[in-house]
Structure 1
Amino acid sequence: MKKEETFQILEEYLKGIPVYNTHSHHLPAEQLTDVGLDYLLAHSYLNEEWEDCGVPGKEDFYRRFRDRSFYLWISRALTEIYGIPDPLSPENWEKTDQAVRAAYQDPSHHTRILEQNCGYQHVIVDAYWNPGEKRTDSPVFERTYRINQFLYGYNLTAADHNGNNPYQNYGWKFFGDFDRYVEQVQRKMEEAAESGCVAFKCASAYDRGLDFEAASKEDAQKAFASADPTEQDIFHFQNYIFQEICRICAGLDIPLQVHTGLGKMQKSNCRYLTEAIRRNPHTKFVLFHGSYPWLDDLCGLAFSFRNVYVDLCWLPIISTAAAERLLSEVLDICGADRISWGCDTWMSEDSLGALLAVRKVLAEVLSQRIETGLLSLERAKELCERILTVNAERLYHKNKE
């Protein structure tokens, strides 16, 4: 069969696959009571551009960003959800806004998009504003527990880029006992696991580099014991605590999701995790975002370490072309068993846009492989199911082999 034909077959097949969405920041229901188009865009990956143009600078916004991947996919999602035939533009802006506002009069609208339009079986939510927050507004929601704050427990006031500090969040006392602090971190992570969190999440690439080098307990304690720790003291403390977190993840057999690539752009390349991965062979490292723009380094890690998992989340809406390239190369070097996907969005419309993007990526890459004789159509369908559902079910313990 020709590529165009198999692409259409796969595109249609993908619509019927129930999806395990591995990463989302879906906003709490109480923040979704007065939603219009401007609110939706301001809580999407077009937020900085939207604010930069200034509401209601629709024409300028459209002119500058109409060809951007983020814009294209959210525009397609709006068309699918609200039945407006043409892509979002100044001409149909008000009509789209009215449709959005009318739909959000129903409090269940945002979860209905996830459950029905997207077909999600599970959505792992990273509530960085309240790590491990339990969601009750949809049965599909699961939780990851963000661990960044524990890297800032060397004093009462240090905080990660989300403003989290464990003493402030949990009312811990600062006893100046380093061993006790590590025990508290472990206890909190165990509590998170017992309460139903299926993953832990490290987003330190927005705070510091991913160069988590080996550190001695003696060096780590210097920041903990000092009223004015040096940058080097803090570096050692964070490296030691990260190592402890990796150990705890391995002991609990719960994956550690790690933001790689875009962030501070200083040592946010996934290759800086190489030694941490090597030191922790029993920790499952789920590396997010393709380490974009350093895709090749992620391929190298996935090839070299069986405890590295590739999550395509965010990448198809950053650059659909980059996602196609990464998927094709990962299939070449290590197969499909360690690939998953998450939307990495705040709004349901953006989530559907991300899903439409990854479906396009899968159909494009797999139909190309069918045309060149590398794959059968039936095997391509199996790979679609594996990447969107099966791998995540196994990784997050919903369906162990």
Structure 2
Amino acid sequence: MSILHDYVNRIRIIDGHEHLATPQIRKRENHDLFSLLHYLDSDFYSAGMKQGVLGRQSSLAAEQKASMFMEYWHKTKNTTYARMFRTAMEDLYDVTDWNVKSLLEANEKVLQATHDPNWYEHVMAERSGIDLAFTLIQTTKLDYDRFRPIMFMDFAFKLRTLKDITAVERMSGVNVYHLRQYLDAVDALLHRYVQEGMVATKFGHAYWRSLASGKPTFHEAELAFNRLMGCTLEESLSQAETVALQDYLIHFIIQRSTAYGLPIQIHTGHHEVSVSNNGNTITNSNVELLIPLLLAYKDTKFVLLHSGYPYYLPYLSIVKNFQNVYADLTWLYIISPTAAKQILHQFIEMVPMTKIQGFGGDYNYIEGTYAHQKLARKVVGDVLTEKVAEGALDETEAMTFADRIFRLNLIDIYQLKDMEVQG
């Protein structure tokens, strides 16, 4: 191991993007080994397995699940998603053989860990070296000191039915009879989320529509809103009928988030199978579609997630040229460590180091986050060692870069207080 690998392995990470359930939720839902598949489940689906067949709602017994797991494991174990599952199971649960018997034994260990009050601290703080993680689980009530909330705001602009409006009305406590009152309701929610510790606003709309946003007038948005208000609970409008309203609300949420000092995290690029409901139309996620918004809001911090992969070449130009846009490596290492390595080389060559967010596990469970950070540290160590060898950086500069992307930049971008990030 090189000096740089050793240095990177000792950095206390601030994790910029997760979907981790709290310890209380995991215990209440009694998660077992088959709850921990997450991305591996997407590869199983790609290899032909029916979606959700191994999930918590499945009627299959544990032994049946283990048998089906092994059937698809042999088809997919070459992928990095599979490698991450292997790393987690072998490092954290001492799995040495991959067969039905060993899976069932590991399943019992996972169930025990789920009810162990010290498991999160052991995995997150001790084994992963993570001081703080931002997690998106659609609540600000996290009750775990190492978590800070980010909230998806898609629900506030994905309006297709009257029920969508009344849900925001109920959550905000603001009576809604017309569009201006609806804007007040959305603003009230944002204000409350900030008070409850939210560190950023998240848009995930590339999973269900294009990232492209027009700039409709209030009147154009109001026409669509009034049509929705006139619907019965059983009626709905199409995407085309509500796009002007959606676009208007996207602008409004950006404006109000900026006023509250919140960065905007936006999903760009690759889709995760289990949450994509637009047929995995990857072209909706092309980062170039965001340029009008990036130009319109120069005072807003935009964190464009996942390095835009596979649209990373225009992504590199955008983060290089736009002062208000921040690069992000969340998820990318496990999509393809080869791509992550190449993109990180180009980040170093093109993007100021203060604008790069180096790690977000993007997992639903902490075991996956553990495996992901282990891979991320290796990739970063490899790249920095190569950069030093070719003379692009000296060792001190490489160490400074690693500190920046894994920790210091996140303190700056999300305006974290010293008391929040102590190990």
TM above 0.5, one fold? Answer: yes
Q: Which residue of 2 aligns with 1:18?
A: 12
How far did residue 282 of structure 1 move?
Answer: 0.6
Structure 1 distance, partners of 2:386, 2:24, is 44
Distance change >3 Å, CA 352–CA 235, structure 1 → 2: same
Residue-by-residue CA offset, 1:152-189 (whole Å, 9 max, x unaligned): 34752248xxxx942354465430x2122112212221
1:257 to 262, 265, 270: 265
Q: Which residue of 2 aligns with 1:38?
A: 34
SS of the residue 1:15 aligns to: helix
1:374 aligned onto 2:392: yes
Structure 1 distance, partners of 2:311, 2:85, is 25
SS of the residue 1:157 aligns to: helix
Distance change >3 Å, CA 47–CA 170, structure 1 → 2: farther
1:322 aligned onto 2:339: yes
One-letter amino acid matched to 1:249: S
One-letter amino acid matched to 2:140: E
How far did residue 358 of structure 1 move?
Answer: 1.0
SS of the residue 2:327 aligns to: strand
Residue-by-residue CA offset, 1:313-336 (whole Å, 9 max, x unaligned): 111111111111111112211132
Q: Which residue of 1 aligns with 2:60?
A: none
1:148 aligned onto 2:154: yes
One-letter amino acid matched to 1:134: K
2:132 to 122, 141, 144: 122
SS of the residue 2:304 aligns to: strand
Map 1:24-173 to 2 at 5 A: 24-33=18-27, 34-41=30-37, 44-50=38-44, 52=49, 55-56=65-66, 57-84=68-95, 86=96, 92-127=102-137, 131-136=138-143, 138-153=144-159, 155-158=161-164, 165-167=167-169, 169-170=171-172, 172-173=174-175
Structure 2 distance, partners of 1:335, 1:108, is 39
Structure 2 distance, partners of 1:238, 1:50, is 34
Residue-by-residue CA offset, 1:242-293 (whole Å, 9 max, x unaligned): 1111111221221011111123424211111110110010110001111121
Q: Which residue of 2 aligns with 1:3?
A: none
| Preserved CA contact (<8 Å) 1:75 1:88 | no
SS of the residue 2:392 aligns to: coil
Structure 2 distance, partners of 1:139, 1:15, is 23
Structure 2 distance, partners of 1:115, 1:37, is 21
2:294 to 277, 280, 288: 277
| Preserved CA contact (<8 Å) 1:262 1:293 | yes
Distance change >3 Å, CA 39–CA 267, structure 1 → 2: closer
| Preserved CA contact (<8 Å) 2:151 2:198 | yes
Structure 2 distance, partners of 1:75, 1:172, is 48
| Preserved CA contact (<8 Å) 2:333 2:340 | yes
In the superposition, the TM-score normalised over structure 1's length comes to 0.88
Distance change >3 Å, CA 346–CA 167, structure 1 → 2: same
1:198 aligned onto 2:230: no
Structure 2 distance, partners of 1:304, 1:293, is 19
Return the structure number with greater helix share: 2
Comparing 251-260 with 220-229, greater Cα deviation is found at: 220-229
How far did residue 58 of structure 1 move?
Answer: 3.5
Distance change >3 Å, CA 82–CA 105, structure 1 → 2: same
Structure 1 distance, partners of 2:242, 2:80, is 38
| Preserved CA contact (<8 Å) 1:314 1:343 | yes
Residue-by-residue CA offset, 1:91-118 (whole Å, 9 max, x unaligned): 7434433433343341331343112111
Q: Which residue of 2 aligns with 1:333?
A: 350
1:351 aligned onto 2:369: yes
Tell me, which stretches of 5 or more residues in structure 2 are unaligned? 54-64, 232-236, 272-279, 419-423
Comparing 376-385 with 45-54, greater Cα deviation is found at: 45-54
How far did residue 390 of structure 1 move?
Answer: 0.4
SS of the residue 2:202 aligns to: strand
| Preserved CA contact (<8 Å) 1:154 1:237 | no
1:237 aligned onto 2:238: no
One-letter amino acid matched to 1:14: V
| Preserved CA contact (<8 Å) 1:156 1:167 | no
Tell me, which stretches of 5 or more residues in structure 1 are unaligned? 1-6
Structure 2 distance, partners of 1:39, 1:155, is 32
Q: Which residue of 2 aligns with 1:174?
A: 176
Q: How many percent identity over aligned positions?
A: 22
Q: CA RMSD in A?
A: 2.3
| Preserved CA contact (<8 Å) 2:8 2:402 | yes
One-letter amino acid matched to 2:371: G
How far did residue 12 of structure 1 move?
Answer: 2.0
In the superposition, the TM-score normalised over structure 2's length comes to 0.84
| Preserved CA contact (<8 Å) 2:32 2:110 | yes
Distance change >3 Å, CA 148–CA 364, structure 1 → 2: same
| Preserved CA contact (<8 Å) 2:36 2:364 | no
Q: Which residue of 1 aligns with 2:185?
A: 184
Distance change >3 Å, CA 31–CA 143, structure 1 → 2: closer
How far did residue 13 of structure 1 move?
Answer: 1.8
SS of the residue 1:142 aligns to: strand
SS of the residue 2:11 aligns to: coil
One-letter amino acid matched to 2:415: H
Distance change >3 Å, CA 157–CA 105, structure 1 → 2: closer
Distance change >3 Å, CA 155–CA 58, structure 1 → 2: closer
